[in-house]
Amino acid sequence: MIDKYPLSRAEVIDLMRQKGVNPTQQRVEIAQVLFSEPQHVSAEQVMSLVNKQRAIVSKATVYNTLGLFARKGLVREVIVDPTKVFYDPTTAPHHHFYNIDTGELWDVEQNSLMLGDLPPLPEGTKAEGIDVVIRVSNSAVTP
């Protein structure tokens, strides 16, 4: 888990190596954007930030790298709906609020949400984790 931001280039490379990711130039550029602050960013936002601040990377490279980072545990994928995925550098277990009006995503501490027992799992499986996304809107409630 990351406990300070931003990570230096050397820290990013070290973290990538710890997770078994080969630190190519483009991967390091993408990781430096992700680990610049605690944030939730889409692939499009990552591509825009990398291309604005650093080197030029293709859309395919960004998507492939983010997928690799998620598989290796460098970031968490937060799927808020079938068409919208955020990447979160905070990998410790936690949940999220998602504002459907603004597109904002923010953290909810894991222990602030109490869940009951899980239903019986399908035979031959084990629970790997629980990710809760609480969708909210700016709509006012009228009595």
What per-residue confidence (pLDDT) applies to 141? 57
Q: What is the mean pLDDT of the chain?
A: 92
Beta bridge partners of 96: 107, 133
* Model pLDDT for residues 67-82, shown as the tens digit of each residue: 999 999 999 999 998 8
User: How far apart (Å, rounded) are the C-alpha atoms in residues 58 and 36?
Assistant: 20
* Model pLDDT for residues 123-136, shown as the tens digit of each residue: 999 998 888 999 99
* pLDDT over 70 (residue 54): no
CB of 61 closer than 8 Å to CB of 70: no
What per-residue confidence (pLDDT) applies to 143? 54
Of 36, 40, 56, nearest in space to 48 by CA: 56
* pLDDT over 60 (residue 6): yes
* Domains located in the chain, CATH noted: 9-87 (1.10.10.10), 91-136 (no CATH)
What per-residue confidence (pLDDT) applies to 20? 97
What per-residue confidence (pLDDT) applies to 21? 98
* Model pLDDT for residues 84-102, shown as the tens digit of each residue: 999 999 999 899 999 999 9
Q: Greater confidence, 136 or 143?
A: 136
pLDDT band, very low/low/confident/very high, at 140 (cuts 50, 70, 90):
low
User: How far apart (Å, rounded) are the C-alpha atoms in residues 38 and 32?
Assistant: 12
**What proportion of the chain, given as a percentage, has pLDDT over 70?**
96
- Checking 11-17 for CB contacts under 8 A at 24+ apart, the result is 11/35, 15/74, 16/74
Helix, strand or coil for residue 58?
Answer: coil
User: How far apart (Å, rounded) are the C-alpha atoms in residues 91 and 116?
Assistant: 23
Beta bridge partners of 86: 78
What per-residue confidence (pLDDT) applies to 53? 75
